[in-house]
Amino acid sequence: MSLLRAFIAIEISPKIQQAIHQATSPLCAELGASVRWTAPENIHLTLKFLGDISPAQANALTAMLRSQADAVPAFEIHTGSLGAFPDAKRARILWIGIRAPAELDALFRGIDAACIRLGFESEKRGLSPHLTIARVRQDTSASDAQRIRRALEAAKVDSLGAVRVDSVHLFKSDLKRDGAVYTKLFSAPLKS
């Protein structure tokens, strides 16, 4: 029995993925090899990282997602703003921010509570909606960290558009030499 590296996420439309790519291209060119950029087609909103799961757990997660999605009506999220975790001075993750209605939080809380009942750990940090666009390399020098901070402070990313959220997905992630490959295993429609 082989394990699957899995997560639960919301897809971002190709139009918004491309808008993010275009808006951050100057930053990408400026930061070069000190940052590993997410391929535009891989940009998504993670609700829950599950780690390695068994096929039996995947089946239980499928049933759980169907139930949780059916409890939340479809909604819209708005993308825009640029930021970093933990902050620009010590950037490890570069992200595009999300403004979302209460439905996103309700979906997140329902999924997290149901995952706990299935034996997964709780999300201790809560929901901080964002789209990861890049990861700063661990071997980044102090001068590169300063350059990243200055670039982030100078960069301006405005509203990039809205995404209609009408389903939630279980994905598997295969780590390859040239980046992760995400495969959708299951989709659960939100309440219509």
DSSP bridge partners of 66: none
Q: 79, 64, 66, 74: which is closest to 16 by C-alpha?
A: 79
Q: Is residue 191 part of a domain?
A: no
Alpha-carbon distance values, 102 to 72, 83, 106 (Å): 10, 22, 6
Q: What is the pTM of this model?
A: 0.93
Instruction: Count structural domains, the chain.
Output: 1
Alpha-carbon distance values, 128 to 35, 102, 157 (Å): 22, 13, 18
For 130-158, what is each residue's pLDDT tens digit?
A: 999 999 998 888 899 999 999 999 998 99
For 30-59, what is each residue's pLDDT tens digit?
A: 998 889 999 999 999 999 999 999 999 999
Give the domain extent around 10: 4-186
CATH number at residue 51: 3.90.1140.10
Give the confidence band of 1 by pLDDT, cuts at 50, 70, 90: low
For 6-15, what is each residue's pLDDT tens digit?
A: 999 999 999 9
